[in-house]
Amino acid sequence: MKIIGNLLWLLFGGLEAALGYFVGALILSLTIVGIPWALQIFKIGLLCLWPFGSRITEGDMPPGCLRIPLNILWFIFGGLLAWLCHVFFGLLLCITILGIPWGKQHFKLAGLSVAPFGKNVELGF
């Protein structure tokens, strides 16, 4: 089911969303200041490529002093919009019984979009 779900995900919009995240990460990485946020956008793009079977875990970044301010800036300058998009599509997909698995993947992406600093993505190939 993982492989079929991921292939359908890629076919019906996952690839375009991941490419959008990767282009955004590339643009942000052109500036030195944007590199930490570009890495987080790249992380979300990877999860967008293969969401079924992937997990979000707590990372090894020390809690507090750096993670909280970076997540606050992230949330203000783009995380809120990404979260709203993923929640909207997740709710839209959960209207039908067949769309529930894909809606759950959008909710997983929404959780990562709120505060990606300090989290790791483990792709489930």
Per-residue model confidence as pLDDT tens digits over 106-123: 999 999 999 899 898 998
Task: Give the 3-state secondary structure of residue 64.
Answer: coil
Give the pLDDT of residue 62. Answer: 66
What is d(CA 112, CA 3) in angstroms, rounded to the nearest whole number?
A: 22
What is d(CA 53, CA 125) in angstroms, rounded to the nearest whole number?
A: 7
Instruction: Report the predicted TM-score, pTM, of the whole model to 2 decimal places.
Output: 0.87
The torsion defined by the Cα of 25, 30, 36 and 39, in degrees rounded to 10, comes to 30
